[in-house]
């Protein structure tokens, strides 16, 4: 069925597979660009609302957390709701969130709009991946996942550049206005071209699991995000982390013991799938962290424009866009181990210079190093995700997608919060004392800039540690054909 130009949906009706794929990828592109635009626009938003990096980063980490919480819920909704209706509902929710963000008079309401957008994104991403895995045969999945990677990378090309230009000439509200006509077009196309291709098998949504996951991951994110303001020894931070860890532990225990879990963690019994989920999570931390840190460094430390910071990131995103489909094809020929080792090696080695950024670091070198990092990401992300999914039975594809996306999205959110907290903590500790403010304005400005620079370098040092750990894990990858006797009990 998957190899035919006209496949059949769950109702036996023919449909054009590539038209359906195009609509899915267009919707995915829209939500990805939305997320990445905020990264470049964040310094300007912080200035407009008079907030610091610890508060502003909630637009990113809060978005990722909500996204991550919605992914397993969507995994269950896909088996209860027609996939065409679910996709259109997600795009309508995204439209509502965009309208809230456009009209937000203050930061809390802007964050509210972002949370609504994140809920929609958490529906679109796993739905798109599950459909791609179902309508393409195993030997085609490398190419299919490569197309997904291409869309994600194109979002990284377009998002920062457009956001930079808009921020230099208008304001951040225009960024959200751009999505209003785009979403309406996608809804129109979806009404004509989308089909129900995910088999329905109604499962009860476990509300206790949803509550535990929301409280657990939310408390962890809040705890790590509060470090910059209160320090690691703060009672608020410690209590939040303890509550978060406890709720996450209960959530994992419940998912492993009930009959119809919200998140089927039994997929982690596959060693390669488990390893791929961990490595992908670390890659996300390294990638999201750099995407957030680099604009802060270029705009707040180097004093460059938002457009300039966006353009610095474009070559790397373009290389990632070109390489994601190619890495999917190469994966089919040589396997995952060599690609993963090479990719994580490039990502790790290219992160080292970011630990030693200075006020005179060449922008050309910075652009090149960022491009090398994303080249490494492109060699790891698509192949290792595909290899992990290929070890699972067909009926567990939705579960595998949910676990992979949830794990790496929530880890990306918490990892980003950790990096921002490290940056803020170091910056705060090295900021000149208030008694020095009246002595020499120029000297104080230099000292403040040096404090922010040291904070950025410290955050990249933590990111480097994550990269080294993931690189070490890639050497444990073993090439193994998919086993048809996967233990599901």
pLDDT at 239 over 70: yes
Mean per-residue pLDDT for 236-244? 89
What pLDDT, on a 0 to 100 scale, did the predictor assign at position 369? 92
Distance (Å, rounded) from C-alpha 421 to C-alpha 415?
10
Look at residues 161, 176, 66 and name the one whose alpha carbon lies nearest to residue 122: 66
What pLDDT, on a 0 to 100 scale, did the predictor assign at position 446? 67
In a shared domain, residues 342 and 449: yes
Mean per-residue pLDDT for 281-294? 80
User: Which residue do the tokens 């490039």 mark?
Assistant: 346
Residue ranges with strand state E in 231-378:
none
pLDDT at 453 over 80: yes
Is residue 222 included in any domain, yes or no? yes
Q: How far are the Cα atoms of 110, 258, 345 from residue 348, in angstroms, in the given order?
A: 35, 40, 5
Look at residues 195, 74, 200, 73 and name the one whose alpha carbon lies nearest to residue 135: 195
Q: State the CB neighbour count (10 A cutoff) for residue 301.
A: 20
State the chain's mean pLDDT as an integer: 81
What pLDDT, on a 0 to 100 scale, did the predictor assign at position 336? 85
Is residue 480 included in any domain, yes or no? no
Judge contact between 165 and 336, C-beta under 8 A: no
pLDDT at 6 over 70: no
- 3-state secondary structure (DSSP) of residue 206: coil
In this prediction, residue 488 has a pLDDT band, given cuts at 50, 70 and 90, of low
Mean per-residue pLDDT for 334-349? 90
Q: What percent of the chain has pLDDT over 70?
A: 88
- 3-state secondary structure (DSSP) of residue 39: helix
Write out pLDDT tens, residues 49-64: 988 877 887 888 788 7
Look at residues 155, 255, 471 and name the one whose alpha carbon lies nearest to residue 344: 471
Cβ neighbours for 145, distance < 8 A, ≥ 6 positions apart: 129, 132, 328, 382, 385, 386
Cβ neighbours for 102, distance < 8 A, ≥ 6 positions apart: 113, 173, 176, 177, 180
Mean per-residue pLDDT for 217-238? 78
In a shared domain, residues 114 and 222: no
> What CATH code is carried by the domain that includes residue 375?
1.20.1250.20
Distance (Å, rounded) from C-alpha 376 to C-alpha 256?
34
Is residue 483 included in any domain, yes or no? no
Distance (Å, rounded) from C-alpha 22 to C-alpha 192?
12
Q: Is the pTM of this model over 0.85?
A: no
Pinpoint the alpha helices (H) of 352-440.
363-389, 397-430
In a shared domain, residues 171 and 210: no
In this prediction, residue 203 has a pLDDT band, given cuts at 50, 70 and 90, of low
Helix (H) / strand (E) containing 16: strand 14-16
In this prediction, residue 443 has a pLDDT band, given cuts at 50, 70 and 90, of low
Mean per-residue pLDDT for 28-37? 84
In a shared domain, residues 16 and 162: yes
Mean per-residue pLDDT for 131-140? 73
Cβ neighbours for 467, distance < 8 A, ≥ 6 positions apart: 282, 286, 344, 347, 348, 351
In a shared domain, residues 176 and 281: yes
Q: How far are the Cα atoms of 8, 16, 183, 293 from residue 5, in angstroms, in the given order?
A: 10, 6, 27, 44
Distance (Å, rounded) from C-alpha 358 to C-alpha 486?
52
What pLDDT, on a 0 to 100 scale, did the predictor assign at position 1? 39
In a shared domain, residues 461 and 332: yes
Domain residues for the domain of 394 are 6-193+262-474
Write out pLDDT tens, residues 291-318: 778 888 888 888 888 788 888 888 888 8
In a shared domain, residues 244 and 266: no
In a shared domain, residues 56 and 137: yes
What would the two tokens of residue 80 be?
A: 């209860």
In this prediction, residue 96 has a pLDDT band, given cuts at 50, 70 and 90, of very high
Is residue 75 included in any domain, yes or no? yes
* 3-state SS, one letter per residue, for 229-241: HHCCCCHHHHHHH
What pLDDT, on a 0 to 100 scale, did the predictor assign at position 414? 77
In a shared domain, residues 266 and 217: no
What pLDDT, on a 0 to 100 scale, did the predictor assign at position 343? 92
pLDDT greater at residue 106 or residue 67: 106
pLDDT at 437 over 50: no
What would the two tokens of residue 244 be?
A: 């978060």
The mean-pLDDT minimum among 144-148, 224-228, 478-482 falls in: 478-482
What would the two tokens of residue 190 be?
A: 């979806």
In a shared domain, residues 365 and 396: yes
What pLDDT, on a 0 to 100 scale, did the predictor assign at position 242? 93
Query: For 132-136, which contacts have Cβ atoms below 8 Å and span 24 or more sequence positions?
Result: 132/21, 132/24, 133/389, 133/397, 133/401, 134/197, 134/198, 134/394, 134/397, 135/1, 135/2, 135/7, 135/17, 135/20, 135/21, 135/197, 136/2
């Amino acid at each position: 069925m998957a190899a035919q130009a006209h496949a059949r949906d769950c109702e036996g009706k023919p449909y054009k597979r590539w038209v359906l794929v195009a609509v899915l990828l267009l919707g995915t592109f829209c939500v990805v660009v939305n997320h990445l635009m905020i990264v470049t626009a964040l310094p300007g938003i912080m200035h407009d609302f008079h907030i610091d990096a610890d508060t502003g980063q909630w637009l990113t980490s809060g978005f990722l957390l909500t996204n991550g919480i919605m992914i397993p819920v969507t995994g269950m909704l896909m088996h209860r709701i027609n996939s065409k209706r679910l996709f259109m509902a997600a795009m309508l929710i995204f439209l509502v969130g965009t309208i809230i963000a456009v009209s937000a008079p203050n930061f809390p309401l802007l964050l509210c709009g972002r949370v609504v957008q994140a809920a929609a994104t958490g529906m679109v991403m796993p739905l798109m991946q599950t459909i791609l895995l179902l309508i393409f045969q195993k030997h085609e999945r490398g190419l299919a996942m490569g197309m997904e990677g291409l869309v994600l990378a194109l979002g990284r090309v377009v998002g920062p550049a457009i956001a930079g230009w808009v921020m230099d000439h208008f304001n951040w509200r225009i960024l959200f206005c751009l999505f209003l006509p785009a979403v309406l077009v996608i809804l129109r196309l979806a009404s004509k071209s989308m089909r129900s291709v995910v088999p329905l098998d109604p499962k009860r949504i476990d509300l206790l699991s949803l509550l535990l996951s929301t409280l657990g991951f939310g408390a962890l994110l809040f705890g790590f995000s509060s470090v910059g303001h209160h320090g690691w020894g703060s009672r608020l931070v410690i209590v939040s982390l303890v509550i978060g860890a406890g709720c996450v532990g209960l959530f994992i225990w419940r998912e492993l013991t009930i009959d119809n879990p919200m998140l089927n963690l039994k997929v982690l019994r596959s060693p390669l799938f488990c390893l791929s989920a961990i490595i992908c999570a670390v890659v996300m931390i390294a990638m999201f962290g750099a995407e957030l840190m680099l604009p802060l460094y270029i705009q707040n430390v180097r004093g460059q424009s938002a457009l300039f910071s966006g353009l610095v990131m474009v070559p790397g995103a373009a290389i990632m866009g070109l390489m994601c489909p190619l890495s999917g094809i190469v994966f089919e020929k040589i396997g995952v181990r060599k690609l993963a080792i090479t990719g994580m090696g490039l990502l790790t080695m290219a992160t080292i210079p970011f630990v030693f950024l200075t006020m005179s670091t060449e922008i050309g070198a910075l652009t090149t190093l960022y491009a090398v990092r994303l080249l490494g990401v492109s060699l790891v992300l698509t192949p290792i995700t595909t290899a992990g999914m290929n070890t699972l039975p067909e009926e567990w594809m939705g579960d595998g997608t949910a676990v992979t996306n949830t794990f790496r999205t929530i880890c990306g959110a918490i990892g980003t919060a950790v990096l921002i907290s490290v940056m803020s903590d170091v910056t705060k500790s090295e900021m000149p004392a208030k008694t020095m403010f009246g002595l020499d304005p120029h000297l104080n400005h230099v000292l403040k800039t040096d404090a922010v620079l040291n904070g950025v370098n410290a955050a990249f040092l933590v990111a480097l540690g994550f990269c080294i750990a993931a690189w070490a894990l890639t050497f444990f990858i073993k090439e193994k054909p998919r086993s048809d006797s996967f233990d599901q009990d």
